[in-house]
Amino acid sequence: MAEERYGTWQRWSEERLRLRAIVEFLRHKTVPIHRYSFVYYFGGITLFLFLVQVITGILLLLYYRPSADAAYESVQFIMSKVRFGWLIRSIHSWSANLMVGWVFVHMFSTFFYRAYRRPREFTWVSGALMLFLTLAFAFTGYLLPWNKLAFFATKVGTEIAGDVPLVGKYVMLLLRGGEDVTEATLSRFFGIHVAILPALATVILGIHLALVQVHGMSRPISVRAEREISFYPDFLLRDLAVWILVLALLGTLATLYPWPLGEKADPLAPAPPGIKPEWYFLFMFQTLKLLPSKIFLFEGEMVGIMAFLVGGLVLLLVPFLDVWAQREQQNRWVTTLGILAVAYLVIMTILGLALPAM
């Protein structure tokens, strides 16, 4: 009797939702197990951190007020008066930073194992777009508490955008919503942070995840799988376990090292000495600082920014540029290039942290 009803329900839902195909697909999907299998968790961790951002972000929206005289106070209010507000806000900040870091880790592991080769080119491209989105999320979100450090870091950051040749001035004007960083910038950044970027992220993340599911896990070149486990439930259970551990890490960081709010921004005050952008933009900041003021006939900053734009484009097109990987070959030069990129990012970031800003 019960079985029959279950059958009816299944038939009823199948007729309307066509879920069986998905369930069947997931049941037959397998994950290869080999000594590099741990990298398969990296994307999942990034996804989890993103979900944490979405949930805590929505929660923060309940009390946050995006205006120059209320933003700082509302975050203060969240942290002091709202029960567990300190936790939500602190997790949002910590998770944001971990996410930016982890996106890079995920990207480089994908790169070094050539997971972008045929047929996964567009998985990579969508992933690279997500990297840009993540940085945009971080950049816009950083200003929202309207504290002194964020205010001046945003000033510096948007100034850098202003150095892009030809369109720079307009980009800066568009970003700032005026000539200078003001309340208008706060409104814009808020809108970008909670509406535009989430909309874009949903679409691109959807494509990214769908492609990952369709193509399954990539096996690194010349690595033989010891065995395979099914994606559902075996791999998913492990994934879930890792997620829970990440949540534990987030809770610990948020409780023991609450993210500070700092002082309220005063647009009229002089910039405090030693203003630096957040650590994930330090490599750009440091590079632009180290460049000479003139390179041939061009301004050093402009050349640097052009180089970053070209770098971004190269990153986006990696699967199409690495023709060896398409032939299932590991080119040593591509690997070297990747290592150089990592070394460059790490060294510049460390230099940026260690050297005084002015």
Partner 1 sequence: MESAERRITRRTFLDYLLGAGLLGLAGIVLYPLTRYLIPPKVTEVTGGSVIAAKVGELAPNSGKIFPFGGKPAILINTPDGQLRAFTAVCTHLACTVQYRPDLAHIWCACHDGHYDLRGQVISGPPPRPLEEYQVTVKGDNIIVSRKG
Partner 2 sequence: MRSQTFLRNSLRHSAALRALLRAILFFVLLIVGSPSPSVAQQESCVTCHQALEGRLAAPVKGMDADVHAKRGLSCSSCHGGDPKRIGMDAMDPRAGYLGTPKPSEVPAFCGRCHSDPAYMRRYNPRIRTDQVAEYRTSVHGQRLVRGDTKVATCTSCHGVHPVRAVSDPRSPVYATNIPTTCGRCHADPAYMKGYGIPTDQLAKYKRSIHGEALLQRGNRLAPACNGCHGNHGAVPPGVESVANVCSVCHSATRDLFVKSPHKVAFDRMGLPECSTCHGNHEVARPTDEMIGTGPEAFCTRCHEPGSKGLAAAQAMRASLEALKSRLAEAETLVAKAANAGVEMSDARLTLQEAQTRLIQARNVIHSFNPKQVEAVTTEGLKFAEKGVAAGKAGLAEVQFRRRGLSIALVILVGTAILLFLKAREIERQKM
222 close to 330: Cβ distance less than 8 angstroms: yes
Answer yes or no whether residue 256 interacts with partner 1 by CB under 8 A. Answer: no
Answer yes or no whether residue 335 interacts with partner 2 by CB under 8 A. Answer: no
Residue among 165, 186, 190, 167 nearest 176 (CA) = 186
Residue type, 236: L
What would you report as the CA-atom Rg of the chain, rounded to the nearest whole angstrom? 23
Question: With respect to partner 2, which residue has the nearer C-beta, 64 or 285?
Answer: 64
Answer yes or no whether residue 263 interacts with partner 1 by CB under 8 A. Answer: no
**Packing angle of the helix pair 85-112, 332-354 (nearest 10 deg):** 150
Answer yes or no whether residue 262 interacts with partner 2 by CB under 8 A. Answer: no
CB of 251 to partner 1, least distance (A): 8
Q: Which does 329 bind (CB under 5 to 8 A by kind): partner 2, partner 1, none?
A: none
144 close to 66: Cβ distance less than 8 angstroms: yes
Distance CA 21, CA 148 (A): 53
* Site track 33-62 with partner 1 (rule: CB under 8 A), x = hit: --------------------------x--x
Q: Which does 70 bind (CB under 5 to 8 A by kind): partner 2, partner 1, none?
A: partner 1
CB of 153 to partner 1, least distance (A): 21
Binder among 177, 178, 251, 338 for partner 2 (CB under 8 A):
251
Distance CA 320, CA 328 (A): 13
DSSP single-letter state for residue 232:
I
Answer yes or no whether residue 74 interacts with partner 1 by CB under 8 A. Answer: yes
Residue 182, Cβ neighbours under 10 Å: how many? Answer: 15
Exposure string for 96-107, b = 16+ CB within 10 A, e = fewer: bbbbbebbbebb
Distance CA 168, CA 309 (A): 12
Binder among 57, 85, 145, 300 for partner 1 (CB under 8 A):
85
Non-local (6+) Cβ contacts of 251 within 8 A are 87, 91
Answer yes or no whether residue 23 interacts with partner 2 by CB under 8 A. Answer: no
Answer yes or no whether residue 317 interacts with partner 1 by CB under 8 A. Answer: no
Q: Which does 234 bind (CB under 5 to 8 A by kind): partner 1, partner 2, none?
A: partner 2
Answer yes or no whether residue 79 interacts with partner 2 by CB under 8 A. Answer: yes
Q: How many CA atoms lie within 13 A of 8 on its CB side?
A: 5
Per CB under 8 A, the segment of 75-83, 97-105, 117-125, 274-282 that binds partner 1 is 75-83
Per CB under 8 A, the segment of 72-80, 152-160, 226-234, 288-296 that binds partner 1 is 72-80
Q: Which long-range contacts (CB under 8 A, 24 or more apart) does 52-55 make?
A: 52/91, 52/92, 52/95, 52/247, 52/250, 53/92, 53/95, 53/96, 53/99, 53/137, 54/198
Q: Which does 73 bind (CB under 5 to 8 A by kind): partner 1, partner 2, none?
A: partner 1
Q: Which does 238 bind (CB under 5 to 8 A by kind): partner 1, partner 2, none?
A: partner 2
CA 67, 72, 77, 83 dihedral sign is positive
* Site track 153-172 with partner 1 (rule: CB under 8 A), x = hit: --------------------
Answer yes or no whether residue 135 interacts with partner 1 by CB under 8 A. Answer: no
Distance CA 240, CA 247 (A): 10
Residues that bind partner 1 (CB under 8 A): 59, 62, 65, 67, 69-74, 77, 81-85, 87-88, 244, 247
Residues that bind partner 2 (CB under 8 A): 76, 79-81, 86-87, 90, 229-230, 233-235, 237-238, 240-242, 244-245, 247-248, 251-252, 255-256, 258
